[in-house]
Amino acid sequence: MSVTQLDHVAVATPDLDTGSAPYLALGLHPEGPDEDVDSQGVRVRAFVVGETLIELLMPTRPDSPIAAYLDKRGPGLHHTAYRVADLDAEMTRLRGEGARFLADAPTPGRAGTRVAFLHPKWGAGTLIELVEHPRDPDWV
């Protein structure tokens, strides 16, 4: 298995400032400016916790998956994401084990990453994201 670490925990929120309040109260600070991820229809605000992130996801358009999630379930935990070294190889391997993905191919993610989501029915009711970071040795 090529999972190397927990990459982030994502929280759906209708408003980044409201959603940030508990994390700011915990003494966390955004790692940089908010980033729009057009392929997912979200704006992301990330907080660093050790070597992982808490990502707040706010929809930027009404047809985004996060908008649908908020309409159905309200704000809260959306998914967990795991870092992989080679996303294409990991998708092939997992398909061989019967995994189902929400899309046939990886999509662009935040900060130059490539991502793929596993179907929650395969993930025991949990939405799981696989994340491949750019192959830059300075990437944190």
Q: What is the mean pLDDT of residues 3-25?
A: 97
Return the residue matching tokens 């649908």.
68
* pLDDT, mean over the chain: 94
pTM for this prediction: 0.89
Distance CA 62, CA 133 (A): 28
- What is the per-residue pLDDT across 28-52, written as a single tens digit (0 to 9) for each? 999 999 999 999 999 999 999 999 9
Please check whether residue 138 lies inside any domain of the structure: no
What's the structural domain count of the chain? 1
- What is the per-residue pLDDT across 74-126, written as a single tens digit (0 to 9) for each? 999 999 999 999 999 999 999 999 999 999 999 999 999 999 999 999 989 99
pLDDT in the model for residue 139: 46
Please check whether residue 90 lies inside any domain of the structure: yes
pLDDT band at 69 (very low <50, low <70, confident <90, very high): very high
Please check whether residue 139 lies inside any domain of the structure: no
Q: Check: CB of residue 19 under 8 Å from CB of residue 30.
A: no
Please check whether residue 113 lies inside any domain of the structure: yes
Q: Check: CB of residue 118 under 8 Å from CB of residue 126.
A: no
Q: Check: CB of residue 37 under 8 Å from CB of residue 44.
A: yes
Q: What is the mean pLDDT of residues 5-15?
A: 97
Please check whether residue 27 lies inside any domain of the structure: yes
Please check whether residue 137 lies inside any domain of the structure: no
- Among 30, 120, 21, which Cα is nearest to 75's? 21
The CATH number for 19's domain is: 3.10.180.10
The domain of 21 spans 3-132
